[in-house]
Amino acid sequence: MKVNGKIVYPGIVEGEVIKYNGNFSFLGGVDPKKGILKDDGRYIGGKIFIFDSSSGSTVGSYIIYGLRYYGHSPLAIVCNLADETLVTGSVMAQIPTLSNVDTDIFIDGDKIKINNDLIEINLEPVEVVTSILYHNGKILILKRSDKVSTYKGKWAGVSGYKEDLDPEPAAKREIIEETGIVDPRLIRTGGHMFLRDGKRLWKIYLFLWEVDNENIKIDWEHTEYRWIDAEKIKNFDTVPGLDKAIRRLFNKI
């Protein structure tokens, strides 16, 4: 799989990923004299350091340069959102850096190659569709049965493999099969998002549909269903990423 990013500082490298989840500040987040993360003690020297976004005071730029000065700089840096501190520090320290990358693709230990604006990882995504059905201010969630191959007993939207169809027809096929509803009205699409689950990478196409009837007929893949307020999804044991998918479809992220 190949992933494009925006070059902050160019370079060609190959190495192992160290992944930090969330926003990272080099000021207070890493010891430049030792190259270790202060949260968990992991050593980032010679690794490809990946995190979601960067922030912090301009002093952080000198922390990045300090990593280089003391011989502990990352082999490369990859993130989604890069602030001025990261941009300045990467240039000062001459560390290959990419931004505008979906960091949900990667986990600790991945082996990847960076060639300027291109990342290569030996992993191909499994394409699936997820639909959220909307009726009278509530959304539909379904509890997956013990007969399905993944995420048994978890709450989910209407989901299934894309297979040989385009995403929208595949989503409508799953709605018919899993709920018996044949005439959903598409409100919006949420593009796609990636979700990493161990060695498996899901590429999930998102759809929000409106329906006229809350009475549905579930198939063997589910044991029960509920119509809930979208914000209450956090109270349920769901498949990974469902909350993020709902927030994206309702334009809350």
- Domain CATH code at residue 51: 3.50.30.10
Give the pLDDT score at 253.
47
Q: What is the model's pLDDT at position 57?
A: 84
pTM: 0.87
97 and 148 assigned to the same domain: no
Phi-psi category of 82—alpha, beta or left, where left has phi over 0 and alpha has psi -120 to 50? beta
Q: DSSP readout, the chain?
A: -EEE-EEEE--EEEEEEEEEEEEE-HHHHEETTTTEETTT--B-TTSEEEEEEE---THHHHHHHHHHHTT---SEEEEEE--HHHHHHHHHHT--EEES--GGG--TT-EEEEETTEEEES--PEEEEEEEEEETTEEEEEEE-TTSSSSTT-EE-EEEE-TTS-HHHHHHHHHHHHH-----EEEEEEEEEEEEETTEEEEEEEEEEE-S-S-----TTEEEEEEE-GGGGGGS-B-TTHHHHHHHHTT--
* Same-domain status, 102 and 132: no
| Domain match, 40 and 60 both | yes
Per the structure, the complete domain to which residue 159 belongs is given by 126-249
Q: What's the pLDDT at 58?
A: 87
Q: What is the pLDDT of residue 242?
A: 96
Q: Are residues 92 and 192 in the same domain?
A: no
Same domain as 223, residue 133? yes
Tell me if 195 sits within 8 A of 241, measured CB to CB: yes
> 200 and 115, same structural domain?
no
Is there a single domain that holds both residue 85 and residue 164?
no
Residue that is last in its domain, among 86, 121, 156: 121
- Residues 58 and 78 placed together within one structural domain of the fold: yes
Domain count, the chain: 2
In this structure, the strands spanning 12-24 and 30-31 are unpaired
**Cβ–Cβ < 8 Å for 26, 56:** yes
Among 73, 92, 121, where does a domain finish? 121
170 and 93 share a domain? no
| Residue range 186-243, pLDDT digits in tens | 999 999 999 999 989 999 999 999 999 899 999 999 999 999 999 999 999 999 999 9
Residues taking part in catalysis: 57
**Looking at residue 252, what is its pLDDT?**
62
Boundary residue ending a domain (84, 101, 121): 121
Statement to judge: residues 157 and 48 lie in one domain: no
Single out the residue of 13, 11, 51 nearest to residue 29, CA to CA.
51
* 208/175 same-domain check: yes
Q: What pLDDT shows up at residue 178? A: 96
CATH number at residue 199: 3.90.79.10
The series of mean pLDDT values per 10 residues for the chain, 253 residues long, is: 97 98 95 96 98 91 97 98 96 98 96 98 96 97 95 97 96 96 95 93 97 93 96 96 94 64
